[in-house]
Amino acid sequence: MLTVPRRPALRVSARPYARTYDIRVPFVAIAGLSARLFTESAGRARLNVAALDLFGDRDTRQRAKVWLDIGGAGLSVDRDKLFDALARAARLPRMLGLIAGGGLEPFARELHERPGLPRFIGNDLRAIAAVREPRRFFALLDALGIAYPEVTYTRPTDSRGWIGKHADGCGGTHIRAASDTDAAVPSPDYFQRVAAGRSMSALFIAAGGHAMTVGFAEQLSVAYGALPFVHAGSLGPIDLPPPVASRIDGMVREIVAKTGLTGMNSIDFLLDDDTVSVLEINPRPSSTAALHELASPAAWPHGLLACHIDACVKGRLPQPTGTAPQRCIAQRVAFAPHGFTVTQHVSDTLFAAPWCRDVPQPGVRIAAGEPVCTLIATAAAPALLTDELERQRARLIELIDTCHESHDDLTTRTG
């Protein structure tokens, strides 16, 4: 699933899954809440993939040579399952290493230092700490003269208009209203004032203290229970005014030069007219990579994951192609209007649909309000994507509402 996963308890199978593969082709391990997106990207680089995630969705299993379950309680990765699966993946032939997606942030130190695991392909611990430890990161932004919404490390006396954040979270699951005092939730690492502006991100690739900005995207979020800003998708590439784009590119280059970030990363920011306020940096590959690969296939013929590996392993940045995006793409999680069990027909239909990703297995029970799949929309301009996404959502709801009908009955009724 793109961002907000289905609960692991709803999976129909936790058994390892494997397919035949060519032992002459290198393997890469891709682990996170969902491994589908980067499993697809690795396929463009003609790599064998060992996918480790919570779901084993149909398209993940269809593209990966090996799938291993690492799901824990709720929306989490199970530590023991993760490291057992990684130890198994490390024994696969010609294993290049591990690429970590969202959800593995709490295990960063062990992923780098624990013996018997695949080599970590990404940022080292020093670079991660430079952008994920709040006091260090915001002090760096101050030193570079980069604006950000007001931050405090103690709970505000008047919590209205403030949010609390955890430093090792992802996808908005680490953000709550500052007024939320649920004793079951650990205290936030810092508090940030809510500010005006479009929620945006820039994807960049770094190597050797230098950086290349791939492009910009608009972030889509939803309220999910007590979580006010859960990341539900993105749309882009977005063309920003050249002075704004240049300014953000300069910020990225300055931050990379000071922190030593490497590989694929993203910077989240608010854009209010032409005012840029930085929110955070995600020192790992971002789901927005899919937008740029789909919008500009000629620019990234081997996929952005291959560029990430080249940057981390060989210290090499991709060469700009000057190829303009051919279209705009949106990806958004679709939520169930009511509870239902995924039938074979529903799963097969979604699996065959070009507008659907993260396809659930037959037999999975999805409760009302929980994610079903990720919708993909394509349009000539960003302004047209919202309507296209709504059309995709309507198709999905119709399919869900008829999920107990046979294919013949549905065909007869709809003509």
> At residue 407, does pLDDT exceed 60?
no
Q: What is the pLDDT of residue 225?
A: 67
Kindly state the average pLDDT of the residues 347-361.
95
How does pLDDT run across 296-349, given as a tens digit for each residue? 988 999 999 999 999 999 999 998 777 777 789 999 999 898 899 999 999 999
Q: Which of residues 10 and 130 earns the better pLDDT score?
A: 130
Q: Order across the sheet with 190-193: list the strands.
A: 151-152, 190-193, 162-165, 175-177
Instruction: Give me the pLDDT at residue 364, please.
Output: 87
- The pLDDT, as a whole number, for residue 9 is 40
Rounded to whole angstroms, how far apart are CA atoms 159 and 178? 6
**CA 216 – CA 255 distance, rounded (Å):** 17
**What is the average pLDDT across 373-395?**
91
Contact 399, 346 (CB under 8 A): yes
As a whole number, mean pLDDT of residues 284-293 equals: 94
* Residue 260 pLDDT > 90: yes
Instruction: Decide: 30 and 38 in contact? Cβ < 8 Å.
Output: yes
Determine what percent of the chain is predicted with pLDDT higher than 70: 88
pLDDT at position 16, please? 58
Residue range 353-371: mean pLDDT, rounded: 90
pLDDT at residue 261, rounded to an integer = 98
Phi, psi of 271 (to 5 degrees): -120, 110
Alpha carbons 370 and 372: distance in angstroms, whole number: 7
Whether cis (ω within 30° of 0) applies to the bond prior to 283 is no
d(CA 144, CA 126): 19
Closest residue by Cα to residue 234 from 247, 221, 248, 249? 221
Residue 379: φ, ψ to 5°: -155, 165
Q: Of 271, 106, 277, which is closest to residue 192 (Cα–Cα)? A: 277
Q: What is the largest CA-CA distance in the chain?
A: 67
8 A C-beta contact, residue 34 and residue 53: yes
pLDDT at residue 4 in the model? 44
CA–CA distance, 294 with 305 (Å, rounded to integer): 13
pLDDT score at 366: 87
pLDDT number for residue 191 = 92
The reported pTM is: 0.89
**Separation of alpha carbons 279 and 209, rounded Å:** 21
Q: What is the pLDDT of residue 181?
A: 61
Find the range with the poorest average confidence among 51-60, 263-272, 406-415.
Answer: 406-415
Q: Give the confidence band of 288 by pLDDT, cuts at 50, 70, 90.
A: very high
Mean pLDDT of 124-134: 97
Give dist(CA 200, CA 247) in Å, integer: 14
Residue-by-residue DSSP string for 245-313? HHHHHHHHHHHHHHH---EEEEEEEEEETTEEEEEEEE-S--TTHHHHHHH-TTT-TT-HHHHHHIIII
Answer yes or no: are the C-beta atoms of 335 and 396 closer than 8 Å: no
Instruction: Please report, for residues 139, 164, 226, the alpha-carbon distance to residue 182 in angstroms, rounded to integers and kept in the order given.
Output: 29, 12, 10
pLDDT at residue 402 in the model? 82
Domains of the chain: 8-121 (3.40.50.720), 127-314 (3.30.470.20), 336-414 (no CATH)
Tell me the pLDDT of the chain averaged across its residues. Answer: 88
